[in-house]
Amino acid sequence: MDVNELVAADEAAELLGVQRRTIYAYVSRGQLARHVLPGSRQSWFDPRELEQLKRGDRAQHQPRRTAASELTHVTSIVDDRLLYQDRDAIAMARQNTFEGTAEWLWRRHEGPVPPWRPSRALQAHAEVVPLPELCLPVDRLKITTASLGAVDALRYDLSPAAVLAVGRSLLASLVGALPPLTDTPPAGDGIAEALWPRLTAAPVGDHERRLLDAALIVSADHGLAPSTRAARIAAATAADPYSVVLTGMSVASGLEHGGSSLRVHSLLNDIAHRDRVHVVLSEHLRTGAALPGFGQPRYTGKDPRAAFLLELALGRAPDAQRSDVVRSVADLVRRRNGEHPNIEFALGALCFLYDMVSGAGEAIFVLARSAGWLAHAIEEYAEKSAARR
């Protein structure tokens, strides 16, 4: 391949007759290779691959659409920046609430967002079975989602307004389904304020609320990840929004996806108790398992979500020794193989720093990603509706 023949993203989009963000949607699902030249962070593309992709799209065109869409405009990754509907996700995490970010993903709404409330009528009829003490928070979230969906007689209303209403009440209900760990009432009406005392008994202030909001925001979506693909497939069959979210939860709870933060949390706890980083990591690697929480192939360098969240969490962490453990693990792995922490490591580290309950990172991930799954469902429902016209 002659690097002089490569074309920039704008020209690639023009060649394919698509928007620039669609080019990065092709990249995110592995249909188009992205090249980065030495000394440049700009993306470049092989025109021969573009022509093959163009021919392939034409050959595969069908008059009737029956499968989930492989393109999305909800999220894109452009030059190592994560964009939510064309807005920088990290910038949003610096100044927005989770609710405000979700509303942007769902309907590109900016401005104040009223407090989200659970549906009392649905909660009154939904029965959540008693769960054993060892169950994880995500187990309760799955059961609550299924229960609320079962008693919502209008759940098959797939209009955007109906999905928005379900999203707001469902996410508020999911947070409320987790048992509080303290008697102190939440400090505010937001999702982050309500969620914090259900994950840890550590005191919550403005910094902690902002930290949890940021964790939720940067976890809300990441393109067509496995759980999002599954959720979109459910939406493509006209499954109701509760079923879409439940499908995403089931896939996201896998140990190689959102459940990876559980392994990170456990590993950091083990290191802290034994105070021997090298020994614990060596024992882990001897089992043949990779260290959880490192590497993200969609970025050429650091995972920006993890870098931002770790900087925010470690900047004012309550325990210096625990902060040292997190830093030592991240530094050791980076020096050894050049890999950087990903979002699962950052969530596991957050749980470790604030002594959260087991599975708290997975709960944060699933709650946050539920907003993303619903955004994809809205997009998928709209595409199915357009295909029927």
Q: In this structure, what CATH number is given to the domain that contains residue 51? A: 1.10.1660.10
- Give the pLDDT confidence score for residue 127 in this predicted structure: 65
Same domain assignment for residues 347 and 269: yes
pLDDT < 70 positions in the chain:
1-4, 28-30, 38-41, 56-70, 125-129, 384-389
Q: What is the CATH number of the domain that holds 235?
A: 1.10.580.10
- Give the pLDDT confidence score for residue 254 in this predicted structure: 84
Q: Residue 368, exposed/middle/buried by CB under 10 A (0-12, 13-18, 19+)?
A: buried
- Give the pLDDT confidence score for residue 387 in this predicted structure: 45
- Give the pLDDT confidence score for residue 246 in this predicted structure: 98
- Give the pLDDT confidence score for residue 128 in this predicted structure: 66
Same domain assignment for residues 174 and 207: yes
Q: For the chain, what percentages of helix, strand and coil (3-state, to nearest 5) are there?
A: 60, 5, 35
* Token code pair at residue 378: 């809205």
What backbone phi and psi angles, to 5 degrees, belong to 56? -65, -40
- Give the pLDDT confidence score for residue 388 in this predicted structure: 45
Q: Is residue 67 part of a domain?
A: no
299 neighbors 332 (Cβ within 8 angstroms) = no
Same domain assignment for residues 191 and 164: yes
Identify the domain containing residue 135 by its residue range.
Answer: 89-257+360-388
- Give the pLDDT confidence score for residue 81 in this predicted structure: 92
